[in-house]
Structure 1
Amino acid sequence: MATSVKIVEGEADFPVPSAGKPCKTWYKVYGDLKSGALPLVILHGGPGATHDYVENISQLAYLYGIPVVVYDQLGNGLSTHLPEKMGDTGFWTVQLFIDELHNLLNHLDIHGSYDLLGQSWGGMLAAAFAVQQPVGLKKLIIANSPASMQLWMEATARLRLQLPQDVQDTLDKHEAEGTTADEAYQRAKLVFYEHFLCRKVPMPEPVKTSFAWIKKDPTVSMTMNGPDEFVIVGSLKTWSIIDELHKINATTLLINGRYDEAQDSAVEPFFQHIPKVKWVQFAESSHCPQLEEPERFMEVVGNFLLQNY
């Protein structure tokens, strides 16, 4: 285990002509990208969250000598914000974030050889990136992600039925009345999160930080998703990658939790259609196994990345 790891923060210029202003992608690198070890690039979820709640995956740099790159996607966290693009579904597209990833890989000079881990929405993005068969992508990790939003919505609807009846009633009432910003709805949503998003109590600070960023600037989350995981009204509502999964040629690890919002039914198409794939489920986790079972998570991911497949 390395006792010290070099940590570098930076910004990559990301030219987006339709943005109407200069854009930058903020990133942080744990470890040495020139060490000869294949770097792991991490895509956070949301859409509209930040790197904070996946940053502890950087432990791989200390435990296994794997350089780790975390970054905030455009519109989020420490990267350029574009609140004037609220509701602009023609701007906030999956391809925009694929272009941003290519741009960052080029900026860091690792485009020729790297591994990729996408968590939740980040896994959807990683899959969409991987079906384009980028030359430098060696291994792919899809963590806690649905293969289609339809399967995700069906899974979360079933999970809601496991909540106390009064919590279900509160969620139903405010959704029907269009008052999802109400405090009672937010409290009821928190009960769902404690069961199926992160089972650690109290909720870990990095998760709170990412939620705070979404609240501060909901542009990306509202445009692409909607108020929350139940009310999907954004541009991702009809998203599915199932028909293209056979094109992924990177060796792939699938991860989900036993109590995950990304239930087996939503994850299974990845397992059925990606040619080289392995699936590991975390028995004590919901949607954030990197925080709920961190030691096992690092072991599973580290071993997958270092083994020759």
Structure 2
Amino acid sequence: MPGPYACNKSNLNGVEVLPDHLCIQHMFSDQTSSLKFSEGKIPFYLGGEVFDTYYKFFGPDIDASILSIAQGPLVVLHGSGMSHDYLTTLADLAPSTTVIFYDQLGSGQSSRLLWKDSSFWTIDLFIAQLENVLYFFGISHCFNLLGHCWGGVLASEFIARRQPKGLQSLVLSNTSASSKLRNELLAAQRLKLPERVQGTLKKHEAAGTTKTEDYRTAMRVFWAKHGCRVQPFPPEFIYTQCVSEDVEDPRVLEAMNGNMRLDSEWDMTQTVIPSMRHVPTLLITADLTESASAPHTPQWGERERYMTVVAEFLKQTGHERCVLKNFLVDVFRI
């Protein structure tokens, strides 16, 4: 079986989904790899233990202070069980703002913590890690958040539970507001897959063999159709897929779907939204039609348009960032 950083090529229904081998040093596309960045690891002390948080940031001048940009840096929160790499297109914003990425615990190059049971993985844990990142960079008093998929859930819960005074604006990109509605949509999308692929998914889910290569190959077809329609897949997206398919480390996703109940009960409309009314917010949704180029990852399918919208939003909310009181929600459909 392939390890987390080496995946097999699979072709099902004519869609090439992964290359024969992908090394970490070759994972960046040309446009991203030409940008300067700084990287390292942040110690995260928790309950007498110390863990590592891997970070990477891009900016107008990586040797200068992160706070040299008046509007504050943009901190990016990735999807569940993944790494930050598939979101590094957001480095396109670096000419105008500092963009900070990090891998959440259990993912990417941060501490994987294979020995931790499901009770360890809580929303409060990920909030504490985010707060530690903000503290490390000295930006708790002035920062922006962009959350994609689960990252948007994390950002929303962070705001609701902590009411961070330094948060200047929020971008929720392709984030579900309700587990129930998300599950209904996913079920409808799966019915559009070829019958052979549907059969493979159902067979392994019923048998509890979802860690097999056969099941993962079928899921890659789903992602090629409903996740990222850029073909061939960008190297960063492939690398993140390899990380999320790590057969040795499924615990984060299992915990999120277990004690966090993100797969069945989470609904931001009832508890979270009332606590977010003071935060200028941009909602980025998706066109789910068959002809759409960016159903779940518009940062790839509509890269230039996506960056223009986010950059303009940050610029607009940045003018009166420290005194802005009125709730602002812009909804942009990619």
- Give yes or no for TM over 0.5: yes
Letter of the 1:44 counterpart: H
CA offsets, 1:86-129, max 9 Å, x none? xx332100111111111110110000011100011111111111
RMSD: 2.2
Q: Distance in 1 between matches of 2:218 and 2:307?
A: 32
Letter of the 1:124 counterpart: V
Q: Which residue of 1 aligns with 2:304?
A: 295
Q: Distance in 1 between matches of 2:244 and 2:224?
A: 18
For 2:49, what is the secondary structure of its paired residue?
coil
Q: Which residue of 2 aligns with 1:140?
A: 170
Instruction: Write out the 4+ residue segments of structure 1 that deviate beyond 6 Å after TM superposition.
Output: none
Say whether 1:167 aligns with 2:167.
no
Letter of the 1:236 counterpart: L
Q: Which residue of 2 aligns with 1:272?
A: none
Q: Which residue of 1 aligns with 2:99?
A: 68
Q: Which residue of 2 aligns with 1:277?
A: none
For 2:182, what is the secondary structure of its paired residue?
helix
The Cα of 1:81 is off from its aligned counterpart by: 1.7
Q: Which residue of 2 aligns with 1:129?
A: 158
**Unpaired runs of at least 5, structure 1:** 226-231, 261-281
CA offsets, 1:207-260, max 9 Å, x none? 1111222233323123324xxxxxx89742322222121210211111122129
Letter of the 1:287 counterpart: H
Say whether 1:239 aligns with 2:272.
no
Say whether 1:55 aligns with 2:83.
no
Do the aligned partners of residues 184 and 89 (structure 1) sit closer, same or farther apart at CA in structure 2, a change above 3 Å counting? closer
Match of 1:252 among 272, 276, 281: 281
Contact residue 44 and residue 50 of structure 1 kept, 8 A = yes
For 1:101, what is the secondary structure of its paired residue?
helix
The Cα of 1:147 is off from its aligned counterpart by: 1.3
The Cα of 1:76 is off from its aligned counterpart by: 1.4
For 2:245, what is the secondary structure of its paired residue?
helix
The Cα of 1:301 is off from its aligned counterpart by: 0.5
The Cα of 1:283 is off from its aligned counterpart by: 4.8
Letter of the 1:39 counterpart: P
Say whether 1:22 aligns with 2:50.
yes
For 2:165, what is the secondary structure of its paired residue?
coil
For 1:83, what is the secondary structure of its paired residue?
coil
Q: Which residue of 1 aligns with 2:75?
A: 41
Q: Distance in 2 between matches of 1:233 and 1:154?
A: 21
Q: Distance in 2 between matches of 1:181 and 1:51?
A: 22
How many aligned residue pairs are there? 272
CA offsets, 1:52-87, max 9 Å, x none? 00012011012xx111000011121111120001xx
**Unpaired runs of at least 5, structure 2:** 1-33, 60-64, 318-327, 329-334
Say whether 1:224 aligns with 2:233.
no
Contact residue 82 and residue 219 of structure 1 kept, 8 A = no
Q: Which residue of 2 aligns with 1:179?
A: 209
Structure 1, 73-82 or 235-244: larger mean CA deviation: 235-244
Within 5 Å, give how 1:84-103 maps onto structure 2. 84-85=115-116, 88-103=117-132
The Cα of 1:5 is off from its aligned counterpart by: 6.7
Structure 1, 117-126 or 7-16: larger mean CA deviation: 7-16
Letter of the 2:156 counterpart: A
Match of 1:151 among 181, 193, 196: 181
Do the aligned partners of residues 36 and 185 (structure 1) sit closer, same or farther apart at CA in structure 2, a change above 3 Å counting? closer
Aligned-residue identity in percent: 42
Q: Distance in 2 between matches of 1:75 and 1:175?
A: 23
Match of 1:307 among 307, 311, 316: 316
Q: Distance in 1 between matches of 2:41 and 2:195?
A: 47
Q: Which residue of 2 aligns with 1:270?
A: none
Letter of the 2:130 counterpart: L
Letter of the 1:243 counterpart: Q
Q: Distance in 1 between matches of 2:282 and 2:187?
A: 26
